[in-house]
């Protein structure tokens, strides 16, 4: 037999190998180990054929078979192939991304079920255990020839002679649940309509659940999930990177008996435990990569906060988990519900065209009208927080309620500037300013992680005149400490909260009332439900709008509308104070739930007029190298090839990226645009497959790019 293998490598094309009889029958979807160049790699069986005559000559032989049976069923394998084609990834790269969760094979621990049995079945394997009865796959593998090693393990396991050793730490258990929320007795009519539509769907049915903040979207999909589970299915719920709060988990666990949780912070042991729990779980909730876990009997997919940019992977295969979720629902023939108060324009457009069913929840559950926005003019105000905002924070504290301060900027100040010559220290590896972190006395690059001590004198002119410019969360904290010492607060950003556990702990402290105020970056925004919050302060509404990105307005609007939606969700009405140096700006009147429909429609019209996404499909090709010349030359070569693309595809570049240098590499980009949406991304494969790049040059292919920096 000859098998085609998608080898886990960015090299394009499929690779043929001989299949040895010792590995049993080949099946598409099995993971294998194969010799590749001078090393061995994993790969996925994609095709099987009879060897005919001498086409075997020169073929290498598959070394090992990692799976007894394929991890994916036929629908999932079709989905994976489509995903790879859409994102112009090599089949191997796509498979490697998809099976990353299963990569810790050698960490699996095996216990001998019956020593005599194992000795009779596979004496060398029994011998490898020595006196022990439990060993990891890795440890066993070092004692046995590696050809066919995992296959032997799997055979012994299938005969119950080896059992997987389980250590049962519960992955998602963090913090104590502060307040158990009651399950609402009855849905309101809009919720009921939405639920009915979802439940009456048969086969593939995509929905956009567009409901303002606090309108009870979560309640709708939890009920839909419960129904699907009652009918014997399982439900996948994707949440943004930061969405896995204890509150969320409590809500799930109070309704479902078996909830599996997946996020990037899990240890190897927890990942292995998840793998075993998957077949038992009713609900799998997780961040974007949870999409790749083979949840059996999939009956529905939910993507919560579908507009969130953390669903887009920015490394390797640049996939969008929301879009792949829709594709998976299609292959699996199940409904998919995308929920948001501030839908992405892509989904809004599809709903408008009738491709997604639009389900609307126009009203908040809380009896209070949406808060009125109180702008505060910051022109002439030196400190980061105005007198009005300080007074409001105090009043809220005195009433025993809580507040959130939103500032999308970490650190003490965005940059240091020399008052004498105007020089701003930059990262030596990136064309970006360094951010001042005062407590640690450091300047940091937020792109590559470069850190240096704060200089005393300006390196450009030698004067001792370096001053902080603008404000970050750390500076806000400092002012609060002075102005309101009685307020207990914490910062919530990537500097103060490392890892999912710490984040959940802090959110839990806040939910339980152990903190009066959270100061934070976008982490604050994501779908949290804190009924006792009655004040939201936006420290600087001017940030983010001036970015040279056509999506800046959309993003800003989404973030501000979401942040405002965190207030007044419980029994008490909320206030929103927005500080700005530009109180007349048009965007200010657009934030909030009432303006959502109008804002989305206006913005969509603008995109249509400009032929920007979602009315055109874009692909961004980024070439980087340590030497600028090498990156530019590769860009020119690739751009020259692009002239052969079909007419409607426009090619711009190569041009230097907005962030020209990143982590020591010079970057050039080519942007392909297709206003018909018919050619991209399909023409990429022939464009890229014959491409030979110098080894110093790296190419990133980003289909539907969100990040244009
Ligand atoms: P969203 O997901 O739209 O932000 P949630 O589903 O979190 O909204 O609902 C906000 C709050 O309202 C939650 O405390 C939820 O339990 C409650 N809630 C939702 N639906 C109802 C209902 N029909 N009756 C009473 N309370 C409800
Ligand atoms: Zn840097």
pLDDT tens sequence across 139-175: 998 888 888 999 999 999 999 999 988 765 454 444 4
Q: What are 594-651's pLDDT values in tens digits? A: 889 999 999 999 999 989 999 999 999 999 999 999 999 999 999 999 998 999 999 9
Q: Supply the residue whose CA is at minimum distance from atom 23 of ligand 1.
A: 187
> Tokens at residue 49, please?
């054929």
Tell me the pLDDT band of 498, cut-offs 50, 70 and 90. low
> Tokens at residue 637, please?
């070569």
Site of tokens 């209070």? 368
Ligand nearest the Cα of residue 565 is: 1
* Dihedral sign (CA 243, 541, 602, 211): positive
Q: Supply the residue whose CA is at minimum distance from atom 25 of ligand 1.
A: 184
What's the CA-to-centroid distance between 394 and ligand 1, angstroms? 28
Ligand 1 atom nearest to CA at 529? 7
Q: Identify the CA nearest to 519 among candidates 425, 612, 405, 596.
A: 405
Say yes or no: CB of residue 570 within 6 Å of ligand 1: no
- Give the model's pLDDT for residue 546: 63
Cis before residue 654, ω within 30 degrees of 0?
yes
Q: Supply the residue whose CA is at minimum distance from atom 18 of ligand 1.
A: 216
Q: State the Cα–Cα distance between residues 620 and 170, nearest whole angstrom.
A: 41
Tell me the pLDDT band of 538, cut-offs 50, 70 and 90. very high
Q: What are 193-210's pLDDT values in tens digits? A: 999 999 999 999 999 999
Among 365, 526, 571, 596, name the best residue to mutate to test ligand 1's pocket (greatest count of ligand atoms within 8 A of Cβ): 365
Phi, then psi, of 665 in degrees rounded to 5:
-115, 135
What's the CA-to-centroid distance between 424 and ligand 2, angstroms? 14
Strand 442-444, strand 451-453: pairing: antiparallel
Q: What is the DSSP letter of 542?
A: T
In contact, 579 and 328? CB cutoff 8 Å: no
16-25, 303-312, 339-348, 361-370: least confident range: 361-370
Q: What are 46-92's pLDDT values in tens digits? A: 999 988 766 677 899 999 999 999 999 999 999 999 999 999 999 99
Ligand nearest the Cα of residue 425 is: 2
Ligand nearest the Cα of residue 365 is: 1
Mean pLDDT of 518-543: 83
Residue 545, judged by CB atoms within 10 A of its CB (0-12, 13-18, 19+), counts as middle
Q: State the Cα–Cα distance between residues 631 and 670, nearest whole angstrom.
A: 12
Q: Identify the CA nearest to 302 among candidates 217, 242, 245, 360.
A: 217
Kindly state the percentage of the chain with pLDDT values over 90.
56
Taking each helix axis as running N to C, give the angle between helix 246-253 and helix 499-511, from 0 to 180 degrees, rounded to the nearest 10: 80
The model's pTM is 0.90
DSSP H or E segment with residue 229: helix 217-230
Say yes or no: CB of residue 219 within 6 Å of ligand 1: yes
In contact, 623 and 634? CB cutoff 8 Å: yes
What's the CA-to-centroid distance between 258 and ligand 1, angstroms? 22
Q: State the Cα–Cα distance between residues 477 and 208, nearest whole angstrom.
A: 39
Site of tokens 């999909």? 221
Site of tokens 């004040």? 535
- Choice between 273 and 624, residue whose per-residue pLDDT is larger: 624
What's the CA-to-centroid distance between 187 and ligand 1, angstroms? 9
Q: What are 354-404's pLDDT values in tens digits? A: 999 999 999 888 877 777 789 999 888 888 899 999 999 999 999 999 999
Q: What is the DSSP letter of 128?
A: H
Residue 119, judged by CB atoms within 10 A of its CB (0-12, 13-18, 19+), counts as middle
Q: State the Cα–Cα distance between residues 32 and 137, nearest whole angstrom.
A: 15
Say yes or no: CB of residue 190 within 6 Å of ligand 1: no
Say yes or no: CB of residue 188 within 6 Å of ligand 1: yes
Say yes or no: CB of residue 528 within 6 Å of ligand 1: no
Ligand 1 atom nearest to CA at 191? 23
Widest CA span in the chain: 86
Tell me the pLDDT band of 517, cut-offs 50, 70 and 90. very high
In contact, 544 and 193? CB cutoff 8 Å: no
Q: State the Cα–Cα distance between residues 38 and 18, nearest whole angstrom.
A: 18
- Give the model's pLDDT for residue 691: 87
Say yes or no: CB of residue 29 within 6 Å of ligand 1: no
Ligand nearest the Cα of residue 181 is: 1
Quick one: the chain helix, strand, coil %, rounded to 5? 30, 25, 45
Say yes or no: CB of residue 468 within 6 Å of ligand 1: no
Tell me the pLDDT band of 178, cut-offs 50, 70 and 90. very low
Q: Identify the CA nearest to 361 among candidates 175, 150, 218.
A: 218
Cis before residue 681, ω within 30 degrees of 0?
yes
Ligand nearest the Cα of residue 566 is: 1
What's the CA-to-centroid distance between 434 and ligand 2, angstroms? 8
- Give the model's pLDDT for residue 171: 45
Ligand nearest the Cα of residue 426 is: 2
* Dihedral sign (CA 72, 78, 81, 84): negative
Dump the DSSP string for 396-460. Answer: HHHTT-EEEEE-S--SSBSEEEETTT----B-SSSSSBPEEETTTTEEE-TTT--EEEPPSS-TT
What are the strands of the beta sheet with 109-112, ordered from one edge? Answer: 134-136, 109-112, 162-164
What's the CA-to-centroid distance between 410 and ligand 2, angstroms? 15
Q: State the Cα–Cα distance between residues 4 and 49, nearest whole angstrom.
A: 8
Find the length of the chain: 709
Phi, then psi, of 112 in degrees rounded to 5:
-70, 125
Say yes or no: CB of residue 43 within 6 Å of ligand 1: no
Say yes or no: CB of residue 191 within 6 Å of ligand 1: yes
Q: State the Cα–Cα distance between residues 582 and 339, nearest whole angstrom.
A: 32
Say yes or no: CB of residue 366 within 6 Å of ligand 1: no
DSSP H or E segment with residue 150: helix 149-158
The Cα angle at residue 234 between residues 230 and 235, in degrees rounded to 5? 110
Mean pLDDT of 227-249: 87
643: number of Cβ within 10 Å: 7
Q: State the Cα–Cα distance between residues 183 and 304, nearest whole angstrom.
A: 19
Q: State the Cα–Cα distance between residues 451 and 411, nearest whole angstrom.
A: 13
Q: What are 557-578's pLDDT values in tens digits? A: 898 888 888 887 777 888 999 9
- Give the model's pLDDT for residue 146: 80
Mean pLDDT of 450-461: 87
Q: State the Cα–Cα distance between residues 49 and 409, nearest whole angstrom.
A: 57
What's the CA-to-centroid distance between 557 and ligand 2, angstroms? 28
Q: Supply the residue whose CA is at minimum distance from atom 27 of ligand 1.
A: 184
* β-strand partners of 337: 207, 302
Q: State the Cα–Cα distance between residues 697 and 328, nearest whole angstrom.
A: 33
Residues 6+ apart with CB under 8 A from 552: 544, 545, 546
Say yes or no: CB of residue 181 within 6 Å of ligand 1: yes
- Asked whether the predicted pLDDT for residue 414 surpasses 60, the reply is yes
Mean pLDDT of 491-504: 72
Q: Supply the residue whose CA is at minimum distance from atom 20 of ligand 1.
A: 216
Residue 482, judged by CB atoms within 10 A of its CB (0-12, 13-18, 19+), counts as exposed
What's the CA-to-centroid distance between 425 and ligand 2, angstroms? 11
Q: Supply the residue whose CA is at minimum distance from atom 26 of ligand 1.
A: 184
Q: State the Cα–Cα distance between residues 633 and 521, nearest whole angstrom.
A: 39
Ligand 1 atom nearest to CA at 212? 3
What's the CA-to-centroid distance between 454 and ligand 2, angstroms? 15
* Dihedral sign (CA 623, 628, 633, 639): positive
- Give the model's pLDDT for residue 372: 79
Q: State the Cα–Cα distance between residues 512 and 394, nearest whole angstrom.
A: 20
Residues 6+ apart with CB under 8 A from 218: 251, 304, 339, 529
Strand 109-112, strand 64-65: pairing: unpaired
- Give the model's pLDDT for residue 174: 41
What's the CA-to-centroid distance between 442 and ligand 2, angstroms? 14
Say yes or no: CB of residue 175 within 6 Å of ligand 1: no
Tell me the pLDDT band of 41, cut-offs 50, 70 and 90. very high
- Asked whether the predicted pLDDT for residue 707 surpasses 90, the reply is no
Average pLDDT over the chain reads 88
Among 179, 216, 563, name the best residue to mutate to test ligand 1's pocket (greatest count of ligand atoms within 8 A of Cβ): 216
Ligand nearest the Cα of residue 449 is: 2
Tell me the pLDDT band of 288, cut-offs 50, 70 and 90. very high
Say yes or no: CB of residue 213 within 6 Å of ligand 1: yes
Mean pLDDT of 266-275: 84
Among 184, 237, 360, 532, name the best residue to mutate to test ligand 1's pocket (greatest count of ligand atoms within 8 A of Cβ): 184
Q: What are 94-152's pLDDT values in tens digits? A: 999 999 999 878 888 899 999 999 999 999 999 999 999 999 999 998 888 888 999 99
- Give the model's pLDDT for residue 329: 98
Q: What are 321-339's pLDDT values in tens digits? A: 999 999 999 999 999 999 9
């Amino acid at each position: 037999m000859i098998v085609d293998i998608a080898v886990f490598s960015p090299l394009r094309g499929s690779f043929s190998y001989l299949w040895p009889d010792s590995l049993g029958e080949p099946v598409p979807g099995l993971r294998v180990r194969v010799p590749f160049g001078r090393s061995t790699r994993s790969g996925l069986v994609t095709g099987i054929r009879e060897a005919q005559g001498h086409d075997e000559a020169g073929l290498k032989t598959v070394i090992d078979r990692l799976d007894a049976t394929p991890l994916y069923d036929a629908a999932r394998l079709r989905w994976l192939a489509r995903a790879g084609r859409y994102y112009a990834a090599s089949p191997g790269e796509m498979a490697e991304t998809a099976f990353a969760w299963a990569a810790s094979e050698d960490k699996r621990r095996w216990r001998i079920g019956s020593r005599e049995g194992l000795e009779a079945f596979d004496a060398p394997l029994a011998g490898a255990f020595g006196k022990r009865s439990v060993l990891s796959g890795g440890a066993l593998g070092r004692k046995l020839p590696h050809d066919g090693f995992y296959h032997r393990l799997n055979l012994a396991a299938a005969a119950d002679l080896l059992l997987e050793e389980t250590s049962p730490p519960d992955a998602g258990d963090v913090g104590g649940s502060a307040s158990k929320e009651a399950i609402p007795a009855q849905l309101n009519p809009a919720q009921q309509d939405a639920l009915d539509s979802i439940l009456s769907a048969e086969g593939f049915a995509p929905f956009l659940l567009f409901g303002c903040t606090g309108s009870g979207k979560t309640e709708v999909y939890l009920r839909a999930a419960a129904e699907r589970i009652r009918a014997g299915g399982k439900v996948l719920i994707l949440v943004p990177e930061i969405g896995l709060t204890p509150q969320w988990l409590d809500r799930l666990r109070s309704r479902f008996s078996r909830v599996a949780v997946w996020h990037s912070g899990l240890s190897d042991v927890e990942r292995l435990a998840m793998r075993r729990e998957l077949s038992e779980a009713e609900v799998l909730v997780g961040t974007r990569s949870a999409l790749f876990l083979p949840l059996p009997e999939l009956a529905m997919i939910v993507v919560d906060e579908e507009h969130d940019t953390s669903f887009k992977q920015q490394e390797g295969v640049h996939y969008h988990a929301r879009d792949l979720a829709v594709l998976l629902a299609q292959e699996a023939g199940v409904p998919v519900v995308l929920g948001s108060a501030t839908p992405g324009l892509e989904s809004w457009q599809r709903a408008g065209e009738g491709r997604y069913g639009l389900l609307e929840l126009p009203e908040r559950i809380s009896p209070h009208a949406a808060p009125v926005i109180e702008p505060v003019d910051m022109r002439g105000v030196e400190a980061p927080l105005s007198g009005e905002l300080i007074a409001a924070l105090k009043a809220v504290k005195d009433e025993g309620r809580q507040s959130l301060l939103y500032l999308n900027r970490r650190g003490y100040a965005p940059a240091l500037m020399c008052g004498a010559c105007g020089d701003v220290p930059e990262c030596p590896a990136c064309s970006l300013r360094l951010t001042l972190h005062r407590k640690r006395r450091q300047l940091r690059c937020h792109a590559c992680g470069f850190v240096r001590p704060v200089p005393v004198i300006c390196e450009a002119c030698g004067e001792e005149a370096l001053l902080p410019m603008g404000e970050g969360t750390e500076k806000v904290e400092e002012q609060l400490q002075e102005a309101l010492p009685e307020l207990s607060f914490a910062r919530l950003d990537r500097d103060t909260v490392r890892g999912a556990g710490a984040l959940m702990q802090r959110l839990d402290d806040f939910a339980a009332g152990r903190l009066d105020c959270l100061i934070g970056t976008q982490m604050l925004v994501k779908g949290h439900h804190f009924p006792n919050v009655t004040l939201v302060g936006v420290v600087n509404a001017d940030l983010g709008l001036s970015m040279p990105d056509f999506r800046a307005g959309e993003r800003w609007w989404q973030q501000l509308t979401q942040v405002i939606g965190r207030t007044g969700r419980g029994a008490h009405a909320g206030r929103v104070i927005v500080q700005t140096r530009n109180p007349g700006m048009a965007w200010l009147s657009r934030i909030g739930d009432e303006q959502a429909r109008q804002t989305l429609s206006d913005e969509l019209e603008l995109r249509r007029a400009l032929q920007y996404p979602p009315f055109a499909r874009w692909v961004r090709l980024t070439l980087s190298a340590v030497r600028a010349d090498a990156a530019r030359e590769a860009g020119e070569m690739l751009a020259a090839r692009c002239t052969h693309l079909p007419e409607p595809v426009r090619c711009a570049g190569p041009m230097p990226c907005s962030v020209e240098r990143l982590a020591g590499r010079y970057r050039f980009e080519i942007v392909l645009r297709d206003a018909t949406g018919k050619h991209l991304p399909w023409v990429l494969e022939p464009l890229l497959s014959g491409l030979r790049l110098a080894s110093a040059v790296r190419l990133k292919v980003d289909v539907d790019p969100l990040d244009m920096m």
